[in-house]
A = this chain, B = another copy of it.
Amino acid sequence: MFDFKYYTPTKVVFGRNTESKVAELIKEFGGTKVLIHYGGGSVVRSGLLKRVTDTLDAAGISYVTLGGAVPNPHLGLVYEGIELVKKEKVDFLLAVGGGSAIDSAKAIGYGVANDGDVWDFYDYKRTADGCLPLGVILTIAATGSEMSDSSVITKEEGLVKRGYSSDFGRPRFAIMNPELTMTLPDYQTACGCTDIMMHTMERYFTNGGNMELTDALAEGLLKTVKKNAVILRDDPKNYDARAEVMWAGSLAHNGLTGCGNDGGDWMTHKLEHELGGLYDVAHGAGLAAIWGSWARYVYKDCLPRFKKFALNVMEVENKGTDEEIALRGIEAMEDFYRSINMPTNLRELGVKATEEDLVTMAHKCAVGVNGGKGSAKFLREEDMLAIFRASM
């Protein structure tokens, strides 16, 4: 078991109509002038943005707004946000949306609180000394960014997608009303469930230091999301299932399911980041499309964990060799992806990559992880290419 730090200062306010508490929470955390940052038009069309601004108006909190955060959020908008915050003397950021708006807001926060180019942090050149305080009203259960230390930004030039993690970026509060996620398209709901499970699976498949308690929490979380993802496929307005998935999304990525391990594997995410940078695919679907090929490539090097996953999460039959059990678990996971209409390879994802594209992605991925990465199995550029090829 490895030593660990666990730090989740985000105040979570969970339940129906909790967005009505937004002004109170901003005041509690010292905000007086707010940048409301959001994504596409759904937040406007649903009336949520209006409800938020009405609440701030009533509380006497002034604000400016900046929409337009897209999936795989762009650096250009981050720069725009930084300028706006400085010009308007904003002292608190409010992200209204999912991971795109939250990650974009985190990057704006780093850019305001630190001198120099904010991309430096995402380009591994230096670390941040602070972040403008940030609150969240969550509308998509997926990235866990509402409690996590991480954010992912795409630089348009060269389509480079990179993540940066810092405790400074953890949101001060997260308002989570499961009802706000009910109008998501089915595909986005399934993508979210996939992303949530992957955040914990990345921490689960390691060759170092796993803790029994962490495993028990991780397995319980994975089984809960798996079950409720299927419920939501058939009944998207099911409040309880929305709530289970939403809360799981936060716990899957706030650090809880990694305590005591070696930091996790994370190669499925790294491989998907290259897909996401190049093709602008939905992150969750990209993960599902890659995972099976990754798992088949690495499972022999991480057999006890794949066996445990197969038995305790996928609940496959406990017979045959460890390898057979592990493979049965991988198959069961892919069956689950198919059951919620997620792709299990790049073709099903709709990516028509040439061999040259695969070579480019593997190369960029290897550069992005300084040559190699992975705990289940340490992967170098040639391994990454082999996995991309297998995923076609």
Contacts and interface: CB of A to CB of B under 8 A. Distances in A.
Interface stretch (A10-18, A154-162, A371-379): A10-18
A9 B11 CA distance: 8
Which of A213, A223, A259 has the most chain B CB atoms inside 10 A of its CB? Answer: A213
A152 interface: no
Interface string A213-225: 1001101110110
Interface stretch (A92-100, A243-251, A380-388): A243-251
A211 B243 contact: yes
Nearest to A246: B213
Interface in A10-41: 11-16, 18
Given A1-B240, A220-B216, A223-B216, A211 B15 contact: no
A217 B221 contact: yes
A4 B12 CA distance: 8
A3 interface: yes
Contacts of A217: 217, 220-221, 251
A251 B14 contact: no
A8 B211 CA distance: 21
Given A217-B221, A220-B219, A224-B213, A14 B8 contact: no
A3 B246 CA distance: 13
- Quick one: copies of this chain in the complex? 2
Nearest to A247: B213
Contacts of A7: 11-12
Given A8-B8, A213-B220, A243 B16 contact: no
Interface in A206-240: 211-213, 216-217, 219-221, 223-224, 227-228, 239-240
A240 B5 CA distance: 17
Given A1-B243, A9-B9, A220-B220, A213 B248 contact: yes
A2 interface: yes
A15 B8 contact: no
Contacts of A243: 1, 211, 260
A224 B219 CA distance: 13
A16 B3 CA distance: 7
Nearest to A312: B220
A15 B15 CA distance: 35
Counting from the closest, the 5 A-B pairs by CB-CB distance are: A3-B15, A216-B220, A6-B12, A9-B9, A213-B224
7 contacts: A3-B16, A5-B13, A5-B14, A9-B11, A213-B221, A213-B224, A217-B251
